[in-house]
Each structure stands twice: as C-alpha cells, then as structure tokens.
Structure 1
Amino acid sequence: MRLRDSLTECLYRGLCICFLLGGGAVVLLMVSYSHRDRGREYVPRNLPLRSINSQLIAARSSPDILSNVYISVKTTPKYYDSRLSILKKTWFQKVDKEKFTIVSDHFNESFVDLKLFEEEVIKEGFHLVTTKCQVEHHRKGLCCKSGVEYEQFYNYLERHKSDSQQVQWYCHFDDDIYVNVKELSNLLSKYDPSKPYYIGRYPRRFGFAVDSFRFGRLKNNYNVSRRIFWYSAGATYCVSLALMMKLEKYFNGVDKFQHTCAVSEYTDDLSVGAIINLVLGYNITHIDNMYNQATDLKKLSPEAVSKLVTVGFSSGKTVNMIDPQPRLFTSTEDPTRFLTYHCLLYKDTSWCNTEQ
C-alpha cells in the first residue's frame, strides 16, 4: 500500500508540474506575442482615430533632436519669390543644411532671375535638386517629385551608414508651410524613432473611405482588407527611421513612388498614408498643432499660435493665414505673415524691426 501510495503521489506531483510548466509556456507565448505586436497597432474599422498619448516616451538623450532629423521641402520655380525666398530667410536658417533637401522642377535656362535665385540657395549651403518631372499639380507630377525626395533620403542613409549618429526621422513639408523648429524638436523628442511612427494631422475624424475601384486595385497588388484609412493632409508629416525602412520598397525613387501612386490612384501624401495605414497597418499619430494650408488658423490665440509645430498658408478663394500682432511688415512685404511670425519667435533676428 505504501509503495502504491508513493507511486500515486509521484504521479500526481508530476502531473501538477507538467500543468504548471505548460501553463507557464502559454503565458510566455502570450507575453511574447503581445510584445511582438505592441508596435503594430491597427486602426479599428469605422472608428475615429484618437491621439495616442500612451506612445509618448522620455526625451531622447540628444540635446538637439533636429540634428537627427532629415527634412525635405517640395517646391516649384513659380513660387521661388512668393514662398521659397521667405522660407529661406526664416525657418530654413534654423535647420541642419547637411540633412536638408529642397526638391524643385527644372525650368528654362533663359529665366535669369530663377537661375540666380537657385545659385544663391546653393551658395548658402542648401542642397537643391531640380527634377525633370512634369510641372503640374496633379498626381503624376507630385508623385514624381516625391519619389525624388524619398530617393534623396535613402541615398543619404547609404552615404552615411557608417556614421556614429545616423538620422532618426524623415520630415516632409511643402513650400506653403512654416516650421516652428523649436516645437518640432519638442514633439519628436517624445517618440522613439526605433519604433514605427507616422506623425501628422489627419483631416477627417472618421478617416478616408476607399471607393470600390481603388479598393480592388489595392487588394490585387497589396494585402489590403480594410476600406478606411487615415493620412496626414497637406503633405506635412514626419516618419521614424524604423518605418521609413519599411517604406523603401514602395517609395524609394521615381519609378517606385509613381507605381504605388498608380496602383492607389492617389496623390503623393494620400499614397503615403494608404501604404502606412492600409498596407502596413500602422496608425497615424495625430498632432493637433501640426497645421497645414487647409486648416483654419483665424480663431487661434497668440499663445496658441506660438506653440504650433507647423503653420500653413493658403491664398486660394479662402485666404487662410495666421495674423500675429503687431504686424511688423506690410501685406506686400509679408503676404504669408511668416516674416512677422518668425520675428515673434526669434526677436533677436537682425532684420526684425520690433520697434514698430
């Protein structure tokens, strides 16, 4: 009896140990799966996307986050005088020119003023690339120029792959955007670039619906099952290095970018959002203070304006601009109000007449 009891007790203990070990394995698998998928957050279908405050992390160790940011600006010779000249005088002076690229269109060499302006930009140390894309504000021309922008970024990574301090962010802005570089630095310092982040301001609370025709094209070319996605409007956004590496197969160069745009039949900014959100499955991190040319700025207080990450300007049928006070320049001198805004942020700028 004692022998049988002993055997029974051993068998019981063995079963308990197996159960505990098996349960522990299940727990470990669950923890592993949870950790693996933590950075890949899918947008709930048909639900509004909220700002993801839980993604905020401690500031990076670098005292100047912008030293790790590659910035690209898209423009065209048509706007050299009315837009680019103002940006070059203001926030362009606050960035690292080695990690900054201006992508423009090719123009007829007979336009002496435009040629002199480009020579001036290059002489000041900026990297200016002129493309042979179609000069048009439509999908083909925009996606072509964006392909050049992305190609320049990936080429930079390749040239500096042995550097001790590699760039961690790619940020894109159009030529009708003023970037408050102090606030951009503060913003990016809150996120970990080794994780996939797509930071911008989505224009529609309930997302952008994909029509049946586009959905069929996307599904035939990519692994897409959802019909709603979010993107950053106004081509104003920042993408972490981790996510940029995932985007290389879709956007590195004119051919890849235009192919992706042709499949989606969206313009450049929408195509970027569609790939990130629909195909790769990563949420946009919505930032209220990343304003673009389509967002209303008239109701903002002076305090709120000074905290904006980006400020847009629109001179279309509905003029949309900030109006910081006091006005330091006339409307002719400062049609976008960016000069005045810059002087309010950097009062020690030599050309700011703060006595007016």
Structure 2
Amino acid sequence: MRRKVSRLFYWAVTMVVLTGVFVVFKSSLGLPDDSQSDVPNGHFLRLRDKINHGQKKIQEKSIPFIVPVENPGVVRKLEGNSNHRTRNVVQEEVEVKPVIEPQDILYKQPYLPKTNMRKLDEVRNFSKVEEEEEGRNLSHPKQQKKTTKNFNTSQRKGSQSNNFDDDAIVRKIVNRTLQKKPSELTLNDIFIGVKTTRRYHKSRLDILVKTWFQNAKQQTFFFTDGYDPEWQNKTGGQMIITDCPTDHHRQSLCCKFSKMYQMYLESGKKWFCHLDDDNYLNVDNLLSVLSEYPPEQDHYLGRSSLNHAIETIDREDGMKTVRFWFATGGAGFCISRALALNMSPYAGGGLFTSMCNRIRLPDDVTVGFISEHLVKTKLTSNKLFNSHLQFLKLFKGETLKKQITLSYGLSEQRSNVVTVPEAIFTIQEDPSRFLSLHCYLYPDADICHRQHAVKFVNNHSR
C-alpha cells in the first residue's frame, strides 16, 4: 500500500514539475496563451502570417487594399476573394520611390481610399500632420468636418480613437513614401573634368588653381598629357596623366575626353561636367542649375557655338548625312548619370576615339553626335555657359554673378575678357580678369585679402 502511495506521489510531483517547465519554456519564447489568441485552433502566427491573415479577412469582404511586392517600382492592388496562397492580382501602374517595406505597415484595417487628411495633434506622438489635395488648405473647418465624416464611415460609433489612429498612420506612411522627393544634390555628386596640356600648366592652370578650383578641390580633376610634379603638388594630386598626344588635334582631344569619361563612369557620381583650361566656373551656380534636373533621367546641358544644327557624314551608316546640335567644349557642358550610362555602348571602354573617327570631328561634337543622333537625347541649351567665342566685354556687374562659366581670349591684337567692376588687380597683373572676377564674386577669398594687403602697403610706402 505504501509503495502504491509513494508511486502516485512520485508521478504527481513529476507532472507538476514538467508542467512548470513547459510554462517557463513557453513564456521564454513569448508565445501567447490559447485563450488570448484570435487565430483558430490555437495556432500562433508570426508577423508575416498575421499580415496575410488580415489581408485574407479583408479580401473576403471584397475590399481592395494595397500591399508591397517584390518589384520595388510597382504597387499591386488585390481584388476579389483570395487567400495567401492563391491571389487574383490586378496590377496598377503606381511608381513607388522608395519601396514601402512590409514592416512599415500593419494591415489591421483596409487601406483607405485617397482623401484629405485633417490635423492630427494626438496621433501617437506625431505633432502635426497636414495633407493638401488639389491646392486646398485642410486647416479650414469645413474641410476638417468633411474629412472626419470620410473616416467615420469605416468605424463604429464611439470607437474612434484606436482605429482612426492606425488608419492615419498608414495613410501618413504611404503618402510620405509616394511623395518623397529625391535626395538633395551636393557638390560631391558632381565630377568636374578639365582638359589641358603640359605647355599650358603655368599660363592657364595657375589662374584656375588660384581661383575657382579652391571651391571644388576634391571634385575637380585635370586631364593632361605629361607628368609635371610641380603642378601635381599644387593641385593636391588631382592631375591625371593620360599619355595622349600633346598637340591640339582631334585625336589628342578625343583621347583625353575618353579617359575623362571612363573615370567618371567608375566614380559613380550623378553628374559629369567637362571644362577647358580657359574656363572660369561658378561652382555655386553650377550646383543650383544641376539641382533642377534629375540625374536618373537623360540630360545634356550646355551651349551651342552655332545658330544651326551641324551636318556631317556618318561613315559607318552608308555615308549618310546626319544633323544634330552639340554643346561647345569651350563653354563647358554637363551630362547626367543616366545619359552617360546610355552613351557607354558607344563611348565606354575606349570606344569614344573610334566614334570621333566615325564623323572626323573633335570630342565636343562627337558627344553631341552620340547624345542627339544615337541615344536620341536632345541638347538642353543653357545660356549661362559661355565661351571665348562670345563678346565677353558685354558681361559686367550683376550679370557676372549669374553665369555658370566664363572664358577669355588673349591675342596680340586684342583681348576678349569680361568687365569686372572695382577690380583689385590691374590688367598687367590679371590679363584674363579671372583673379579680379573671383574677388568680385568671393571677396573673402585668401588671394583677395593678400592683394588688398599688397595694395595697402604700396599706397603707404609712397
């Protein structure tokens, strides 16, 4: 008898211990009690299964709702009865940038149709949420009243707080995601390539390094044809040796541009801008103008030196005559990342020089041939790019502050330079007028302070 009692007691204690271990193990995994589960048969779904379960309930009511899918550029709309295994999918053309991640939205309620939003001052620590549709101001009491009525149609009377907050958060996330603007363009998104030659290092690069190069040191690269340790040091290692011919003929120009273009592709930057070594660049104006054009679209910006499209012979297309516009390299031009990539089958991997030979014209004309004739991207003319082919003395005063690029032309007969008001350098000290122009635009630059000091000393030593 005692043995039977002891055995029963042993088994009872064992069951209690095992039950306690199971309870502890269950609580450590964070599993809810069966009594609290809203899922049939006591099954416990993870977050994804819960979302699918909620979607199934909504579909059974034939209420359309929006869910994110694998393709980051498309949102799909599900209609009709379906479950999480088989779905009747109707795809709409809704572009989403960036993609809405599943963890951002819990589908406890059906996605509300697009409607105006009222101010939400008490929605889960969101201070202010204001939405406008078709230019209407939602702060108006009538708009708020109308919006409240739209929301209340999907809610029980008297239970407005929790459900309304969830719907408002979903609407806020989706709207902000769909309407999110692209990231702001910065100077680091721009690749600036300057084409030069060794014999112009002293006469031309010296002016650029003292002036606008100081505003874009890390973004500017000088493509030359010979090693020069002095100017490699003065440019902070930004000089690229191309091993191209040293003359100014088509082959050497196309060779340098080909190296420049290939380096840009490898940089991954959003914009590529080409300049000559006789250009002054207003970095701030360049950044402002490029910010108006999305780099993920094809854009070709510059100024033509002709008042008509150029005509040439395409030697690889049955000697046909082709017509196109091009941006002159003497004024500088810029191409977007998207256009540069679309040009790569014709210009990448050293193919650019063969394209120059195809039409027997220099690098800037060849860029126009590839962009306009082959890739079908038209030149966007911008009059803020300027070359030495223009009458530069007409640029004076406030007009100088608006330009992106300026240039100069010096000869024994005459000089073609801009007119700088209150220039602090004389014509003999600054024949190109770039030093005076830089001090006019940036009076706090170091070279300007030094020049003022020199003038002060000279005036008081007399």
Q: TM-score over 0.5 for the alignment?
A: yes
1:219 is the counterpart of 2:317: yes
Superposed counterparts of 1:110-149, under 5 Å? 114-121=228-235, 124=236, 126-149=237-260
**SS at the partner of 1:78?**
helix
Q: Is the Cα contact below 8 Å between 2:396 and 2:418 reproduced in 1?
A: no
RMSD: 2.3
Please report how far the alpha carbon of residue 131 of structure 1 lies from its aligned counterpart in structure 2 after TM superposition: 1.9
Distance 1:301 1:91 in 2: 18
Distance 1:218 1:199 in 2: 27
Please report how far the alpha carbon of residue 185 of structure 1 lies from its aligned counterpart in structure 2 after TM superposition: 0.9
Aligned to 2:433: 337
Q: Is the Cα contact below 8 Å between 1:226 and 1:278 reproduced in 2?
A: no
Please report how far the alpha carbon of residue 186 of structure 1 lies from its aligned counterpart in structure 2 after TM superposition: 1.1
Distance 1:345 1:59 in 2: 31
Q: Looking at secondary structure, tell me which structure has more helix per residue.
A: 1
Change (3 A) 1:262 1:300: same
Please report how far the alpha carbon of residue 350 of structure 1 lies from its aligned counterpart in structure 2 after TM superposition: 2.1
**SS at the partner of 1:273?**
helix
Distance 1:299 1:287 in 2: 18
Match of 2:340 among 244, 267, 270: 244
Aligned to 2:160: none
Please report how far the alpha carbon of residue 209 of structure 1 lies from its aligned counterpart in structure 2 after TM superposition: 2.1
Q: Is the Cα contact below 8 Å between 2:311 and 2:321 reproduced in 1?
A: no
Distance 1:106 1:351 in 2: 28
Change (3 A) 1:208 1:128: same
**SS at the partner of 1:72?**
strand
Q: Is the Cα contact below 8 Å between 2:396 and 2:419 reproduced in 1?
A: no
Please report how far the alpha carbon of residue 354 of structure 1 lies from its aligned counterpart in structure 2 after TM superposition: 5.2
Q: Is the Cα contact below 8 Å between 2:392 and 2:408 reproduced in 1?
A: no
Distance 2:441 2:183 in 1: 25
Change (3 A) 1:59 1:346: farther
Q: Percent identity?
A: 31
Superposed counterparts of 1:160-239, under 5 Å? 167-210=269-312, 214-215=313-314, 217-220=315-318, 227-235=322-330, 236-239=332-335
Distance 1:298 1:81 in 2: 25
Amino acid at match of 2:353: Q
Distance 1:77 1:147 in 2: 18
Distance 2:231 2:339 in 1: 35
Please report how far the alpha carbon of residue 198 of structure 1 lies from its aligned counterpart in structure 2 after TM superposition: 0.2
**SS at the partner of 2:346?**
helix
Amino acid at match of 2:317: K
Amino acid at match of 2:415: V
TM-score relative to the length of structure 1: 0.71
Change (3 A) 1:226 1:264: closer
Amino acid at match of 2:375: L
1:313 is the counterpart of 2:408: yes
Match of 1:274 among 359, 369, 382: 369
Structure number, greater radius of gyration = 2
Q: Deviations over 1:100-148 (max 9, x none)?
A: 32110125xxxxxx43232332xx3x42111211111110111111111
Which structure 2 residue ranges, 5 or more long, are not aligned?
1-92, 94-179, 456-462
Distance 1:60 1:206 in 2: 35
Aligned to 2:222: 102
**SS at the partner of 2:335?**
strand
Tell which has more relative contact order, 1 or 2 (C-alpha 8 A, sep 6+). Answer: 1
Q: Is the Cα contact below 8 Å between 1:67 and 1:96 reproduced in 2?
A: no
Which structure 1 residue ranges, 5 or more long, are not aligned?
1-31, 33-57, 108-113, 158-166
**SS at the partner of 1:288?**
coil
Please report how far the alpha carbon of residue 279 of structure 1 lies from its aligned counterpart in structure 2 after TM superposition: 1.4
1:325 is the counterpart of 2:427: no
Q: Deviations over 1:52-75 (max 9, x none)?
A: xxxxxx99642x532211111111
Aligned to 2:357: 262
Match of 2:203 among 67, 82, 106: 82
Amino acid at match of 2:423: R
**SS at the partner of 1:244?**
helix
Distance 2:233 2:299 in 1: 36
Change (3 A) 1:218 1:312: farther
Distance 2:193 2:250 in 1: 19
Amino acid at match of 2:436: T
Amino acid at match of 1:135: T
Please report how far the alpha carbon of residue 204 of structure 1 lies from its aligned counterpart in structure 2 after TM superposition: 1.8
1:294 is the counterpart of 2:389: yes
Amino acid at match of 2:266: N
Distance 2:440 2:305 in 1: 28
**SS at the partner of 2:191?**
strand
Aligned to 1:73: 194
Aligned to 2:78: none
1:91 is the counterpart of 2:247: no
Distance 1:117 1:171 in 2: 22
